[in-house]
Amino acid sequence: MKLTVWTYEGPPHVGAMRVATGMKGMHYVLHAPQGDTYADLLFTMIERRNHRPPVTYTTFQARDLGADTAYLFKDAATAAYERFKPEAMIVGASCTAELIQDDPGGLAETLGLPIPAIPLELPSYQRKENFGADETFFQIVRALAKPMEKTAHVTANLIGPTGLGFRHRDDIVEVTGLLMDMGIEVNVVAPMPATPSEIAKLGQAHFNVLMYPETAETAARYMERAFGQPHTRTVPIGVGATRDFVAEVAKLAGVEPVLDDSRLRMPWYSASVDSTYLTGKRVFLFGDGTHVAACARIARDEMGFEVVGMGCYNREQARMLRSLAKDYGVEALITDDYLEVERRIEELAPEMILGTQMERHIGKRLGIPCAVISAPVHVQDFPARYSPQMGIEGANVIFDTWVHPLVMGLEEHLLTMFREDFEFHDEAGASHHGHKAKLREMGIKDSLKTETDSAEPLQTNLGPVEIVWLPAAEKELKKIPFFVRGKAKRNTETFASERGVSEISVDTLYEAKAHYAR
Amino acid sequence: MTEQFTPPPARGCASTPVLKERGQHEVFCGLTGIIWLHRKMQDAFFLVVGSRTCAHLLQSAAGVMIFAEPRFATAILEETDLAGMADAQQELDRVVSELLARRPDIKQLFLVGSCPSEVIKLDLAKAAERMSAQFAPNVRVLSYSGSGIETTFTQGEDACLAAMAPVLPHTEARELLLVGALPDVVEEQAVGLIEAMGIGPIRVLPASRVNDEYGIGPNTLYALTQPFLTDTHEALQRRGAQHIAAPFPFGEEGTTQWLRAIADQFDVSEAKFAEVTDAPRARARKAVAQASEAIKGKSVFFFPDSQLEIPLARFLTRECGMDAVEVGAPFIHKAVMSSDLNLLSEGPVIAEGQDVDRQLDRCRAARPDLTVCGLGLANPLEAEGLTTKWAIELVFTPVHFFEQAGDLAGLFSRPVRRRALLKLEAAE
Ligand code: SF4
């Protein structure tokens, strides 16, 4: 039994829904109680889809349990076929139906439907959403795609996009463009927005572009074995990764690497002087393994940030991320416990978080700016405008998105200069944001903010030495702008404890500042 | 106030045959109620014993509304818990002990059953009894079912309050009890009006803290503020308490009649009643008239959701001038609903339960001016050109009593006004 407040991933059948909802002509018959229909709103509200997910739920009730729930499933499957006339079906159980063991796959077979009914075995009490999507896509490919003669022209499949995916809609456009520039045509994009009959044609491509390992790695491996299709390893998020991707694709396709970077603005924006203030910003990254890995590279090599920590919630990527973290000299946090992530962020006191919607909440609580880089995301991360993460435009979008929550370069100086000014004052936050950022719960007591209320000295227990801030130093600390105060406090305390100093004076503060100066 | 309401219909809907549907339901399960119950009961924690699905449902329904560590959580059953029963009970003890050690502010703990815990027959009542003994007197532990195989959406609140009714102390006092978890602002208005009529003390179920609790008994008179509290109604009857039957307090008419029924029980004079209610009634009437301008003469179709459908159809038809085409409710408890059914004119299809695809067929055929439905259906229907109102907002926003009557009408008229307002085509 595991106590859980917020979760990064839903149950595996939600992953299967993401595959079915991304596709056309596919229908999912799900043996599940009525409450499980909540999942529809993820697609209709968060992603703003204008149609219902193609899912029929059996919605069995307690009174059905004693009798026969199997007939409910058979009725629902038959009715769904007749009403929606899909080209193919997937059938399976949610967590509750898994316990009553009706075997939806076997039941569907007895119906003798004139279309393929693909059974899904998704262990709800062991695995999660990404596994569900990956396994579902694999089962669909295995059931529907067969080895075929390759196309005369060099072609590729794009695999991995699903419903509810973070920027999948726009990434497809961007990657298609990258391939087109090299004269490579796209054969099938799957699972979203393919039909079952398009899935059947996957085998005729020369290779696969694995856009999202989270949702299509198993299928990619299968197609490598079954159809002799190699697949790409680089995920083209960021400038460097996009260039690497182009080189990798050129090799797989046997063509010249070509990248039209005439619209690429990100490197210049990052080099221009206003971006100097980004140098060494301490960032913490958390999300799915793929996005975190790609964004860590952007953060360090393309934005000039300092990566102080990273982690992912999907265990499937734990090994990859652990070894990557080593290269960055940090320890990877592999957990799906949101409170653990919050604790790590509090410890590290980064100046910025690159995370999911959960980290956005954490950032709000702690007063740390946050940009979203990975699912799970909320409605505001499905923007109306074209907003990919991949390729050339993706790099431009990422620059803008990450800089947005930060205090701008010149403004940072103004804040330091006019600290007492009523408009520029410390807690006003970045001027282009309506809400004000608040620094809380980072070991900085509220007493720091109100000068009248500082009877209790600031005290921190850092290892063996108890450290006390002398009133003057405490006052000085308060003068440091809020967006670097956490760092200043931490550095000073580390500096003091390393030297066995138990009382922090104004001098200690400035000695520490000099010590850490970069 | 001399103005009269529209006379009650010669034939209301109380005897209309109900269309009973059994097919795919598109509704939340009772766990959803935790989202508002935990705000209301400030010293209570709700521990769902369930699966990752249950945790994901709570998160999806709560959305971004709550970012603090909330007073609810899910104990997710894992493979090992499913193997043997003894283990699951021990595991639950461990989880609860850790939780209570970390949250000493918790005075009541609800163990909330889910589909998986019920299918594997994990006895939460027994667990609650054991834990109550262990943690008394600091923490009271109760259990109820919020599962999707037993409860639909608002029935979760009903099950929770019904679990509290038997443990309230006994009293012989003649007191008024208001039943239902209302937003504070609304509850204060109701209490204010009733107190102004000279009635008191007024008790509320659920109380916001366990220490604020009171007794009930054969002299307790209770009024339901929500139509879905049917099990609670029965649990209170078992304690001997007496029900004050009335239409539900939505709109000017509903609120007036609801207050009137209470006033009659406590011998409040005509003059006193008028003195207290005349001004807010006039305000409510004016606000409703303004807010309902855009929906007068328009048709409305209800998908089943919260059991508020029948009282709201009564409000929309009698006070806002709408025509009801179909009023679908997940359940219809005739005794609790009869006052509202009597006021609803014959005509609309009254449906209980659901077969969502067939209901969608009927809705598309009727092409109502406004469709009240859940979040899973709203955008798809909008995309088909129908105007919709998400039903869940009716449960999350203050809509009861006089001062909210205009807001309530506004919730229905806003989508209609918006559709008329948007001009997204070229000028030519
Ligand atoms: S319907 Fe059952 S399994 Fe689904 S969320 Fe509700 S209680 Fe959990």
Per residue in A153-167, pLDDT tens? 999 999 999 999 999
pLDDT of residue B80: 85
Neighbours of B6 (CB within 10 A): 12
Report d(CA B168, CA B267) in Å as an integer: 27
pLDDT of residue A413: 54
With beta carbons less than 8 A apart as the criterion, state whether A485 and A444 touch.
yes
* B94 CA to centre of ligand 1 in angstroms: 23
pLDDT of residue A454: 39
Find the CB nearest B25 among A49, A52, A59: A59
Task: Choose between A341 and B16: higher pLDDT.
Answer: A341
Q: What is the mean pLDDT of residues A273-285?
A: 93
pLDDT of residue B170: 95
pLDDT of residue B1: 55
Q: What is the mean pLDDT of residues B313-340?
A: 95
pLDDT of residue B86: 63
Is B349 a pocket residue for ligand 1 (Cβ < 6 Å)?
no
Are A37 and B378 a contacting pair at CB < 8 A?
no
User: Which residue, by CA, sits nearest to atom 8 of ligand 1?
Assistant: B54
Report d(CA B296, CA B291) in Å as an integer: 10
pLDDT > 90: what percent of chain B?
82
Task: Look at residue A483 and tell me whether its pLDDT is greater than 80.
Answer: no
Q: What is the mean pLDDT of residues B5-28?
A: 88
**For residue B269, what pLDDT band results from cuts at 50, 70 and 90?**
very high
With beta carbons less than 8 A apart as the criterion, state whether A134 and A217 touch.
yes
Put simply, whether B115 touches A (Cβ < 8 Å) is yes
pLDDT of residue A423: 46
Question: Which residue of A13, A17, A61, A96 sits with most ligand 1 atoms within 8 Å of its CB, as the best mutation to test the pocket?
Answer: A96
Query: Measured from the CA of A33, which atom of ligand 1 is nearest?
Result: 1
- What residues of A are in contact with residue B81 (Cβ under 8 Å)? 1
pLDDT of residue A158: 98
Is B150 a pocket residue for ligand 1 (Cβ < 6 Å)?
no
Q: Which residue of B has its CA nearest to A94?
A: B53
Are A45 and B379 a contacting pair at CB < 8 A?
yes
Report d(CA B163, CA B336) in Å as an integer: 19
Which residue's structure tokens are 């980004």?
A278
Choice among A208-212, B37-41, B265-269, B364-368 with the minimum mean pLDDT: B37-41
**Is A337 an annotated catalytic residue?**
no
pLDDT of residue A419: 52
Q: List all residues 6 or more positions away from B1 whose beta carbon is below 8 Å from its beta carbon.
A: B274, B277, B278, B281, B282
pLDDT of residue A453: 38
pLDDT of residue A459: 56
pLDDT of residue A452: 36
DSSP assignment, residue B73? E
**For residue B209, what pLDDT band results from cuts at 50, 70 and 90?**
confident
> Mind listing the pLDDT tens digit for each residue in A239-262?
999 999 999 999 999 999 999 999
Is B54 a pocket residue for ligand 1 (Cβ < 6 Å)?
yes
* B151 CA to centre of ligand 1 in angstroms: 10
Report which secondary-structure segment, H or E, holds A156.
Answer: strand A155-159
Put simply, whether B76 touches A (Cβ < 8 Å) is yes
Q: List the helix and strand counts (H, then E) for chain A.
A: 21, 16
Task: Look at residue A464 and tell me whether its pLDDT is greater than 60.
Answer: no
Nearest 5°: phi and psi at A122? -115, 105
Task: Look at residue A448 and tell me whether its pLDDT is greater than 60.
Answer: no
> Mind listing the pLDDT tens digit for each residue in B143-160?
999 999 999 999 999 999
- What mean pLDDT value characterizes chain B? 93
Task: Look at residue A435 and tell me whether its pLDDT is greater than 80.
Answer: no
Q: Which of A117, A283, A287 is nearest to A196 (CA)?
A: A117
Q: Is the peptide bond before B70 cis (omega within 30 degrees of 0)?
A: no
Query: Which A residues in the span 97-156 are in contact with B, Cβ-Cβ below 8 Å?
Result: 99-100, 123-126, 128
With beta carbons less than 8 A apart as the criterion, state whether B146 and B31 touch.
yes
Task: Look at residue A517 and tell me whether its pLDDT is greater than 80.
Answer: no
- What residues of A are in contact with residue B377 (Cβ under 8 Å)? 40, 44, 52
Query: Measured from the CA of B29, which atom of ligand 1 is nearest?
Result: 6
Query: Which A residues in the span 317-356 are in contact with B, Cβ-Cβ below 8 Å?
Result: 339
Put simply, whether B264 touches A (Cβ < 8 Å) is no
Report d(CA B26, CA A59) in Å as an integer: 9
The maximal CA–CA distance of chain B, rounded, in angstroms, is 75
Which residue's structure tokens are 């100066």?
A517
**For residue A436, what pLDDT band results from cuts at 50, 70 and 90?**
very low
CA-to-CA separations, B301 to B304, B317, B323, B411, in angstroms, rounded? 10, 12, 9, 15
Q: What is the mean pLDDT of residues B298-312?
A: 97
With beta carbons less than 8 A apart as the criterion, state whether A138 and A220 touch.
no
**For residue B70, what pLDDT band results from cuts at 50, 70 and 90?**
confident
Q: List all residues 6 or more positions away from A482 whose beta carbon is below 8 Å from its beta carbon.
A: A367, A426, A427, A429, A437, A439
Sign of the Cα pseudo-torsion (A205, A207, A211, A212, in order): positive
Report which secondary-structure segment, H or E, holds B224.
Answer: strand B221-224
Neighbours of A301 (CB within 10 A): 14
Complex ipTM: 0.93
Which amino acid, B336?
V
Question: Which residue of A7, A31, A34, A36 sits with most ligand 1 atoms within 8 Å of its CB, as the best mutation to test the pocket?
Answer: A36
Q: Is the peptide bond before B415 cis (omega within 30 degrees of 0)?
A: no
pLDDT of residue A486: 76
Is B55 a pocket residue for ligand 1 (Cβ < 6 Å)?
no
Q: What is the mean pLDDT of residues A473-486?
A: 78
Q: What is the mean pLDDT of residues A141-159?
A: 97
Put simply, whether B31 touches A (Cβ < 8 Å) is yes
Angle in degrees, CA B57, B61, B65, rounded to 5? 135
Find the CB nearest B150 among A4, A56, A62: A62
> Mind listing the pLDDT tens digit for each residue in A31-65?
999 999 999 999 999 999 999 999 999 999 998 88
